[in-house]
Structure formats: C-alpha cells, structure tokens
Structure 1
Amino acid sequence: MAAVEVDDIVVHRGPEAAVDGVSFQLERGEVLALLGPNGAGKTTTVETLEGLLTPTEGRVRVLGLDPAAEHAALMPHLGAMPQQGGVYPGARAREVLDLVAAFHADPAPPGEVLERVGLSHKARAEWRTLSGGEQQRLSLALALVGRPDVVILDEPTAGIDPSGRLLVRQLIADLRTAGLAVLITTHDLEEAEKVADCVVIIDRGRVVASGSPAELMRAAGSHEIRFGAPPGLDTAALGKTLLVAVDEVAPGEYVVAAEATPSNINALTGWLATHDLPLADLRAGRQSLEDVFLRLTTITGETPVVRVDAARRPRTPQR
C-alpha cells in the first residue's frame, strides 16, 4: 500500500472544479513535487490530503485512511507545513514548538528539532520578530516535531535565503532516507529538480505530466535549440539558413525548432558570426524542468499531456 493514494479526485470550490480528475501515488521513502501555476489546483489537492476538503468524486487515502472521515486517526501521523502563518504573533519559537510537541504521544525533542532547522539561537524569539525565512523554518519544525510518517510541505523554501534553502533541501533528503513520504509544492523548479524523486505537474485542475525529473526532461525531447542574442534578429533570414522556424519567444530569447545536432549548432553560430552578433547563451539538447513546465502549463489552447515509462512514473491506483 502506498503512503498516499489519490485516485481520480474531483474537488469543487463553488460551482467550478478546482481539481478535475487528479491521480498520483506517493511511496514511503520518496519525495514527490506537486507543481503547477497559480490557480492550478495545488493547494486544493493539498488541503484534500490534509482532510480539510472532501472530494466530490474519486478516492483519497493517506496511510490507508480517509483524511476527512478518519481525520483524528490520521493527524498523529501527518505533518503539514502551511505556506504561511498559523502561529500566534507573540508566541516564542521554543514555546510554540513545545506546545505542538505536547499534542503527540512520542514527539521529537523540540530542542533537537530547532537545531535541525537552524533556529536554536532564536528559541526565545517571538514569531512576529522572525524574518520570513525564519518563520518558514519554524513552520517546518512544527510539521516535524510529532515524528510523522507523511510530511506535506507547502512552498518550504519560499522567502528563505540560499544557505537556508540548502539546509531545507538536506532536511528533505534526510526525511526520505528515514523512510518518510514527503510531498512538496514549490514554484522553484530548480529545487524540484534537485530534491524530487517524482514530479506531478497540474494545470487547470488536471495532471498534464508525471514522472521523475529526468524522465520528464527526456520525454520533452531535444528537438529545439534555445539561445540568447540581441533583440529583434531577422528570424526569417536565420530560419532560411537553418531551414526551420526560428521564434523570438521573449526579447532577446530565441527558440530554433531543430534538433540540437552539431551541424545545426554550427549553422546557428556561423550565421551569428557572419552578422557580427554576440551569443549571450546557448541551451541545446535536454531541456530543464523549467522548460518542460513552461511548455506544458499554458493560459490558452489545449494543454498537452506527457506520460513516461509506467514502471517509473507515479502509479494510478486501481479502482
């Protein structure tokens, strides 16, 4: 049995379906990144896993329990970090951690948890005096102090400085090693690429891609070349030279609809050299997770669906 099973759920917020047929699984000892643009349905999905919302269709199980119907039984085993807030402004860091620890039968020592998130020196500081990044790390500590089996982290590195992000990433890796099931939401695609074993991308309430970061990047193919150059290039002339379409997707950023072969790269750089134009950057071959994300999450038109090897992608539960 998977730690988290989401089977074709539909969740409404008012008359509209905020989530419309989402399915994925999360195993113990895995990190799953749930990605999507604002309004895609990530928060609705997370709140359904936490038992705060009930799907109108489909099935959700966390550790074999219905998060809404069996909420009290699930809570001792689930650690949830909200995106922001949730702590009384005048509460001191160690006090609020002690309070939450007292709700659990076998909590982790609060002092050790504060040290793990790099806040030992802020034990007596009030919540309102903490920086945004420090508040995020204290929220993470509150999610972990009960020794949960499943951890849900909503934007865990939002507002955190680079050293703090490294600390959080290592903590997530440690949770995986300890056999916990970890679900994160993030807008930091580089972070997802580094920490996640599997990725589920949702757009407009539906899953548009699922698989490991490497699989999704391979599935996107290498049939384009991206480069930077001065804005306003004669893309028609360059396209005639390369015998493919060339588009300026943003000022000074270009996409060539051609496979990243040595001959195509040579033709591109040769054309730029002939016209005495600088090359700002060049990305060829495997796309980044951000490239995949931007391609799949659109604001107009049909959103394509990417599927990868069924043996590796998050599995769809059997009905």
Structure 2
Amino acid sequence: MSGSPIFWLPAASTEGARTDHLFFLLCGISTLIVLLVLTLIVTFAIRYRHGSAAPRGRLPEFFRSEFEIGWTAATAFLFLFIFWWASAAQLAGYAPPPDAIEMHVTAKQWMFKTQQPNGAREINQLHMPVDTPVRLVMTSQDVIHSFWVPAFRFKRDILPGRVTQGWFQATRTGTFHLFCAEYCGTDHSEMGGEVIVMPKADYAAWTAAQPEGDDLGKAGGKLFVKMGCAGCHAGSNAVHAPNLAGLWGRTIPLADGSSVEVDERYVRDSILQPRREIAAGYEPIMPSFQGVASEADLTRLVAYIRSLATGEDAGQ
C-alpha cells in the first residue's frame, strides 16, 4: 500500500491485528528472556570472577529442588499458553463466518484469476468491500502457488488437484499488494496483483457496473447437465444414485461403515475417484471423470452442488 512505513506494514485486516499481537508478545517475551540471561551472565561473571571472595560452596537445597521445579513448570506453562494462542489464531482463519462473501481464485503460471459472486471475472485483481468477511475458495491449474497479502497477514498455498480455503476481513480501504509466495517457475517474481478494498457503497456500484456472466453455481448447473450427471443424480432419475439436493454439509454413512461430511473435498474426490468413498446403499457404478473434468469444471460443479443445499431439484 502506498505511503506505508518502510520498516513496518500496518495491519489492514482483523486477522492481521491478531497476528501482530502475537508477534509483539513473542518479541516481548524473547526480549525479557534475553535481558534476564544477559543480566545473570554479567552478574555471575563479576561476582564469581577469579580471585573474588564470593562463596563457592554447595547450593542450598531450595535451589536444587523447589526453585528448579518452579522454573521448569513456569516455562512449560508459558509455552502451552503461547501454543494455545498461536493455534487458536491460525485455526480461526479456516472457519469463515456464515455471512462471508464467497470469491473464487484460480492460480496458474503466472497469474491469479478471480471471480466475484455475481460472476464478474478479474485478472490479478480482487475487488472487495471493507469491513466484510470474504471467503476465498482457491485451486491451481498447474503447480503450487500461494495467495499472500502482507498487509492482511494472510497467506494460503494454492494446490493443484485440491481446493484450499481461507478468509479475511479488511478493516481499511485502499490498494494492497498481492504476491505468490511459492516458487512456481521462471516468472514467479512477476506473479502478483492487487487487492482493492472499497467502501461498501463504492463496491456495490463497481459490482453493478461489471459485465455479469453466469456465476459459478449457474455455470456448474449447465455443466452438470452437459456431462450427463443429471441423468443419474436428478430427483426423478431411473438409476439408483444419490439425489444431490440438500446433501451439501450433511454427514452421510459410507459402505465401509464410516461416515463423511459432504464438502468440497468429498465432492471432488467423488467425481475423480468415485470408488474411493462409496455412499451406503448405492452400487459403485459411477464412472471416473479423471482427465475429463478440468480444474475449472470441478470448481463449477462443486459450486453447483453447494447451491443445492437449499433443496432445489438437482436436475434443474
């Protein structure tokens, strides 16, 4: 962001503020420990220097038992506290609020392709409203990339063949740098873009001015019919296959006696490896779409099946 200090980039998201608090805590604790150890070293070096009259007998029992136990316990509790705080801060980044806006990111050498909820597409840019949680659903078309916005303290790896997620909520308007932080090939250093955070009214006006295409759910619905999925998974199908309406987010039993939640990972695996986790009560007759459905196709199909969570007919 233009005008930012050279040595410290102000946090521009709720996650960034939490990350900075943890960073400053670790710096403060580390500084206190360094000062304590340095003070003890200097004190002992002077007091117990060669030729001094300081007593050098056996330490009192207190220093060989209670003091050592207390110091060890205090250090252990401090470690557990820091571990808990850091883990809680990290895990919070994987659980977006229910009202988060969903945006999709597809990475490839060497660009970021983003898509707004209304279907508007961008290259190496992502517009978003301020003070609004945004959930990113990301995949790669080739190699490992990452979505890194330093001002948000946000970084997620983007993996080929998998869907990765994360969320953030910007607290300041402006234009913030976007980088790929995983070496992804010859022009890795050129792979970057901008996250443009706008006031909510300005974002609404910008969105209304964009040429709208089909959103991912609608595009996935067309692909669902085109690839023949509706012939088996529609509510009125003759083939004994699961009706997908209302299935998203539910926990279903599997043929091996285990259970699984219907989410992005399960839907993708069911399309590419249908015999891996077979739903209880159904025959393993679904063909694999490995090599048939592209990453973009998988993203659209997953979005469509997610849109059926309200229970509308899968064949529509």
TM range (shorter): under 0.3
TM-score by length of 2: 0.22
Structure label with greater radius of gyration: 2
Normalised by the size of structure 1, how large is the TM-score?
0.22
